[in-house]
Structure 1
Amino acid sequence: MKKTIAILPGDGIGPEIMSQTLRILKKIENKFDHQFQLVEGYIGGSAFEKYNSHFPEITKVICAKSDAILFGSVGGPLEKAEFPKWKDCEKNSILALRKTFHFSSNIRPAKVFAELKEICPLKDSIIGNGIDIVIVRELLGDIYFGEHLTYIENQLRKAKDICEYDEKQISIVAHQAFRMARKRNNKVTSVDKANVLDTSKLWRSIVSEVGRDYPDVTLEHMLVDNCAMQFFIQPTQFDVILTSNLFGDILSDAAAAFPGSLGLMPSASFNEQGFALYEPSGGSAPHLAGKNIANPIAQILSLSLLFKHSFELFEEADIIEKAVQKTLQAGYRTKDICIKENEGISTTQMTDIILSHI
C-alpha cells in the first residue's frame, strides 16, 4: 500500500511521542511492505515561531494533499498564555484545522485495560467485566462556533455565547455514531438537554429520525446530567455515546478517568467524506516536555486508529493494539500509570518494549 500521511507533532510532548510513534509506523511499514510517505508540518506554537501563524498555509497544503493526518498536541504553559506565541494557540490551530477540513465527528474510545484496573478510580463492582465506551462528539457546531460577545448594558458587564445547530450537522454525526455501533454492540445513547434547550430538542428529533435507518441498533436518549451520574454508577451500560460539541467535550474528559490517564486515550476526527485526523486526547503537557517521561500509548493507539479507519489495515492495527496490551501485561508502566510515585520507565523504553512485540 502507498499512502501519504501528514505528520503534525506540534508543541510540548507532541514531538517526543510523535517520534516514538513513527518508530512503530516504520516497523509496520517494513513488516508488511507498505510505503508511507510522511510529510511533516508545523502547527501551534512551533508554527508561530517559524511562520508567525499557528496554522500556516503551507501546513494546510500538506494536510490537503495527504490521505490522513497524524497530530500531536498544541499549546504552551498557562502562565505564558498571553504571550503572542501562545495566545489563542488552540483556537487558531486545532479548531482552525477542524474547521478547514470540516471534521464534524470526533470519536474517542474510553476503555479500562484489564492490566490497569488498579488505576481506575472506580470499584471493581462497578467496573465489572470491563468498561469499553466510544464517545462520538459533534465538532463543528454548538456554542464554540456561535457568536461570542462581551459588552456593557445598563452599566453592567454582560457576555453571551450563542449555541446553534442545524439538522444537517446533527444528521452527519448521528450516522457516524450508528455506523460505529454496528461494528460494536449495536447500541447508541444520545445525550442532550432536551428538557431545557431548543438545540437539544432539535438534536433529539433528528437523531430519532436517523435511528429509523438503523433498525438493528438500539437507540436511547439520556439527559446530560443523568449521563454524567451514570458514568460513575453503571458505566458498563454504555456502548456508543452520541452527543453535541459542548457536552461531548465535558463527557469525554470525564470518561478519561476510566482508564486512569489521558496518556492512554486516542481519538479520531472525521469529515463527511471520510478524511480524518488522529490525535491523542491529552494536551501538550509542557511541564513534561523534554524529560522523556510522557506516555506514548495514546499517540501509538491513534496510529492504530488511522490504520484501521483511513487505510482499512485491520491486521496492522490489531498487531499494534496487541503489542500495547502485551507490554502492559508484562508490567511495564510510564510514570502517569504507575501506582507508586517516582517509578516508571521512559517514553523511549516503553516504545522499545512495544516494538519488541510487533
Structure 2
Amino acid sequence: MMHHGEYKVVGGKLVVVDLDTDDGVISAASLNGDFFLEPDEALQDLNEALLGLSTEASHGTIRDAVAQNLREGAVMFGFDADAVARVVRRALGHATKWEDHRWQVIGPQIIPVAEQVALDEVLTRQLAKGELAPTLRFWDWDESAVVIGSFQSLRNEVDSEQAAHHGIKVVRRISGGGAMFMEAGNCITYSLYVPESLVDGMSFADSYPFLDAWVMEALAKLGINAHYKPLNDIATPTGKIGGAAQKRLANGAMLHHVTMSYDIDAQKMTQVLRIGREKISDKGIASAVKRVDPLKSQTKLARAEIIEVMMETFAQRTGAVRAELEDASLQAAKDLAAAKFDTQQWTARVP
C-alpha cells in the first residue's frame, strides 16, 4: 500500500515522504522536500532508517530510528528527526493537518463561569467520542471571577478576603497554568477542542504557538505585533496580553484555551491575586498595567469587534462554519458544574 505525507516545519522547510507498506511494516521510503542535507548520502540514511518500522510506530520510535541511523557528521538544515517522524506519522494516518478536519466556530454566549469551565470538559469528551466536530468556542459571562489552574494552591493564589470584598467567585479549571482574572467584558477567552493527532509528536512548547498561529494572524490584522513568549504567554513589545493552557485527555482529545486582557482593572487584580501582587511587588501598581497590556488600549476597538475579526480569521484559515451550543451540552455543563466545578471540594482540592 502506498502512502504520501507532507509537513511544513514551523520556521523551516517542507518535508515530504512517500511510503510503501506491506504486512504492517514500512517496506520502501522516499524522503524529499526543499530542505538542506549534508552530505548527499545522508538521504539514504534517512530512508533506510524507516525500513522495517511498524506502521503503528510511535513518533518517538520513528524519531529515534532516524537519529540513530544518520551517519556521523551529517547535518540537517530546515528540518530534523522530529520533522521526519511527524511527516511519516501523517503519511500513515496517525498525525493530521488542520485541513483534515471539518471545523466549527461557536460565538460568545453569556454563561456562568463555573459552567464555562464545565463546558470545556464536556465538549472535549464529546470530541473524543466523535459527538463533536473540532471546535473553536469563545466565552462570555456577566459576573466577576478568578479561574485558577488545576494545580494551583487556592490560598497561595487568591486573597479570599479581597475576593469576597469585591464579590469575585473563585473557580478551578481542569487545565494547568496560571490564574485568569475575569470581570464582565474585561478579557477575551476562547477554547479549542482538537484531536491530539493535530499535534502528534509535538512538544507542549511547540504546540502552543502552532495552535494559536491563527490568532497571531488576527492580531496582526488589528495592528498588534504579537509573539509567543515560552512557554505559554502571548506578548507584545508593550507588554503581555494573554496566556494559554492545555489539558490532554487519555482518550485522544485535548483542550487548548487562551485568555487575553481587553480592559483589565490591574489594581483590583493585584488586590485579589497574591501571585500577581508578588510579581510586581518591587515596581508598584503602575507596572501591572504595563505587564498586562489590554487589547482595548492597543486597538481602540470594541471587544465584540476584536472577537469578530478572530472568528473570521479562523474561518478563513480552516474553512470553519458558525455553530451554536446544543441544549444537551449546556445542560451537561450545568450538571457538571453543580457536581464538580461549583463545589468547595473541587475548588480547594489544592488548598
- Flag the structure with higher strand content: 2
TM-score, reference length from structure 2: 0.24
TM-score, reference length from structure 1: 0.24
Structure number with higher relative contact order (C-alpha < 8 Å, ≥ 6 residues apart)? 1
Which structure has the larger Rg over C-alpha atoms? Answer: 2
- Flag the structure with higher helix content: 1
